[in-house]
């Protein structure tokens, strides 16, 4: 007797993804049934991924099992996407509606506003004048009013009245200058012991003692007029820089000229011809010629006191470059030796 072996196919447990897809298919079928057989199913096309079924022997079950009772599920309404922005959810701010743009061009809007403002201003300014004209019956711009006071001709032709002097001024005694004031003026002279009117006597390098005046720097001498002019320049120099002007040489005797010639050779004047021998030349210290501010000041101000650096002692002047050598111009011209 043959026995018929009935095998039972027991499906393996379904995964979450398969269960979710089955529920979606069921919802789609119910929705199609409620609408009727009109349209195609809204179930997405394409193969449905199902979990592999594992077949294993198990207890016998009837070939035609009783149908299971249908499970009714409440259809879930599809979730609608909120239009609320992320900034609103985070900050709680209410989004502002978009600003509507005007169809009127910007230039016309500006002209319209300017017209309105100008009209209001004109009305505000003109109203008081119109009211005043209406009350008086005259134009508010009538400036032909009669003038008051004297005219220009009266002021010119009218004789001036001199005010009377005060009695205290009339009785004031005349103030006389004491004789001591003149002596104080001499004391304030840069070189109070120098006589500018003293005669210049002697020869080059051998001037008389009364023909020389000692300068502010001990041991330095010049002819009286040259000494007074240089001392005045030194006063202005001290006012600008707070110190005395520094000198290397001034008057040189004939013996000193020979010593300089022996030491410097070509760069020194022949003995008996130097302007130092006449007391009309000086040599400045290197602190004066090496300071651009000081030297610029001397270059600009010394000529006003009669002192200059001659052209032959300048760069390209035809002689030795000696920016320290300055001469008293009027005295050198008197000797006929000026080459400035």
Domain boundaries, the chain: 200-335
Topology adopted by domain 200-335: Muramoyl-pentapeptide Carboxypeptidase; domain 2 (3.30.1380)
Distance of CA 202 to the CA centre of its chain: 65
173: exposed, middle or buried (C-beta count within 10 Å: 0-12, 13-18, 19+)? exposed
If you compute the radius of gyration of the chain from its CA atoms, what whole number of angstroms results?
Answer: 61
Q: What's the confidence (pLDDT) of residue 148?
A: 60
Q: Which residues, 6+ apart, have CB-to-CB distance to 40 below 8 Å?
A: none
Q: What's the confidence (pLDDT) of residue 12?
A: 56
Q: What's the confidence (pLDDT) of residue 327?
A: 97
Q: What's the confidence (pLDDT) of residue 28?
A: 86
Q: What's the confidence (pLDDT) of residue 99?
A: 58
Q: What's the confidence (pLDDT) of residue 32?
A: 78
Q: What is the pLDDT along the chain (340 residues), one digit of tens a residue?
A: 444 444 445 555 667 888 888 888 888 888 877 665 544 444 444 444 554 444 444 444 444 555 555 555 555 454 444 444 444 444 444 455 555 555 556 555 555 676 767 777 666 665 555 555 455 555 544 545 555 666 655 655 566 565 555 554 444 444 444 444 434 444 467 898 899 999 999 999 999 999 999 999 999 999 999 999 999 999 999 999 999 999 999 999 999 999 999 999 988 899 999 999 999 999 999 999 999 999 999 999 999 999 999 999 999 888 889 999 999 999 999 999 888 7
Q: What's the confidence (pLDDT) of residue 324?
A: 96
Instruction: For residue 207, give both structure tokens.
Output: 């001037």
Distance of CA 59 to the CA centre of its chain: 102
Q: How far is CA 151 from CA 119, 147, 159, 203, in A?
A: 43, 9, 14, 76
Q: What is the pTM of this model?
A: 0.47
Q: What letter would DSSP give residue 2? A: -
Instruction: For residue 16, give both structure tokens.
Output: 């979450």
Helix (H) or strand (E) holding 304: none
Q: What's the confidence (pLDDT) of residue 107?
A: 56
Q: What's the confidence (pLDDT) of residue 123?
A: 64
Residue 4 CB neighbour total at 10 angstroms: 4
Q: What's the confidence (pLDDT) of residue 176?
A: 45
């Amino acid at each position: 007797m043959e026995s018929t072996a009935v095998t039972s196919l027991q499906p393996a447990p379904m995964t979450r993804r398969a269960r979710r897809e089955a529920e979606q298919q069921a919802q789609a079928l119910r929705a199609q049934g409620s609408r009727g057989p009109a349209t195609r199913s809204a179930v997405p096309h394409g193969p449905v991924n199902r979990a592999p079924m594992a077949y294993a022997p198990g207890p016998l079950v009837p070939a035609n099992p009783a149908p299971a009772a249908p499970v009714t599920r409440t259809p879930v309404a599809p979730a609608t996407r909120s239009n609320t922005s992320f900034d609103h959810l985070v900050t709680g701010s209410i989004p502002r509606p978009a600003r509507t743009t005007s169809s009127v061009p910007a230039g016309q809007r500006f002209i319209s506003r300017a017209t309105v403002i100008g009209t209001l201003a004109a009305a505000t300014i003109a109203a008081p004048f119109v009211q005043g004209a209406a009350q008086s019956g005259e134009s508010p711009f009538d400036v032909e009013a009669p003038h008051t006071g004297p005219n220009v001709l009266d002021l010119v032709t009218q004789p001036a009245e001199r005010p009377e002097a005060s009695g205290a001024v009339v009785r004031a005694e005349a103030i006389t200058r004491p004789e001591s004031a003149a002596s104080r003026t001499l004391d304030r002279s840069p070189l109070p012991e120098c006589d500018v009117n003293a005669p210049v006597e002697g020869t080059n390098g051998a001037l008389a003692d009364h023909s020389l005046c000692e300068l502010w720097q001990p041991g330095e001498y010049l002819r009286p007029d040259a000494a007074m002019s240089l001392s005045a320049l030194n006063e202005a120099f001290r006012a600008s820089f707070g110190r005395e002007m520094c000198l290397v040489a001034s008057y040189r005797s004939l013996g000193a000229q020979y010593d300089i010639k022996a030491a410097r050779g070509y760069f020194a004047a022949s003995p008996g011809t130097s302007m130092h021998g006449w007391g009309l030349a000086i040599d400045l210290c290197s602190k004066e010629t090496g300071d651009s501010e000081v030297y610029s000041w001397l270059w600009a101000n010394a000529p006003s006191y009669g002192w200059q650096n001659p052209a032959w002692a300048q760069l390209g002047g035809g002689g030795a470059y000696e920016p320290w050598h300055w001469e008293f111009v009027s005295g050198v011209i008197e000797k006929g030796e000026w080459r400035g």
